[in-house]
Amino acid sequence: LERTFSIIKPDATERNLTGAINAVIEKASLRIVAQKRILLTRAQAEQFYAVHSARPFFGELVDFMISGPVVVQVLEGEDAIATYREVMGATNPENAAEGTIRKLFAKSVGENSVHGSDSPEAAQVEIAQFFAGNEIVG
């Protein structure tokens, strides 16, 4: 079994969609093995999205990620990283497939409701940024 890191973003928590998103996650046979609702600090958001620091939307992205609560999660399952990327849908909800989280709930390419790790290396780094080993219960 593989683990991936997920964030339910502020546009979704603001609309009380945590449970609806978790239902889609669980229906895809991903198990939520760790979860907490937090406010990211600016430093945490900048660190998390550091790979995008040169992109023109970086400031907007960081401001958005600290604009309200997020729910950080560890998801476990068969091919969890690829499975969750599929369940999330395309970054821009206009391009997202029917039934995906972003098609169902995202507001725009920026306010797109969820994050999911894009590689095993990223998953490991991202999980370690937010969870101690004993906070993950598989």
130 is in an annotated binding site: no
The active-site residue out of 3, 61, 111, 115 is 115
Is residue 125 involved in binding ligand GTP (CB under 6 A)?
no
Closest by CA position to 6, among listed 99, 102, 94, 109: 102
Q: Which is nearer to ligand GTP, 13 or 112 (CB)?
A: 112
Q: Which helix (H) or strand (E) holds 124?
A: helix 120-130
Whole-angstrom Cα distance, residue 121 to residue 124?
Answer: 5
Query: What region, left, alpha or beta, does residue 116 occupy, with left being phi > 0 and alpha being psi -120 to 50 degrees?
Result: beta
The answer to whether the annotation marks 112 as part of a ligand binding site is: yes
- Closer of 97 and 135 to Mg ion (Cβ): 97
Q: Any catalytic annotation for residue 115?
A: yes
Position among 10, 77, 93, 116 found at the interface with ligand GTP (CB under 6 A): 116
The set of catalytic residues is 115
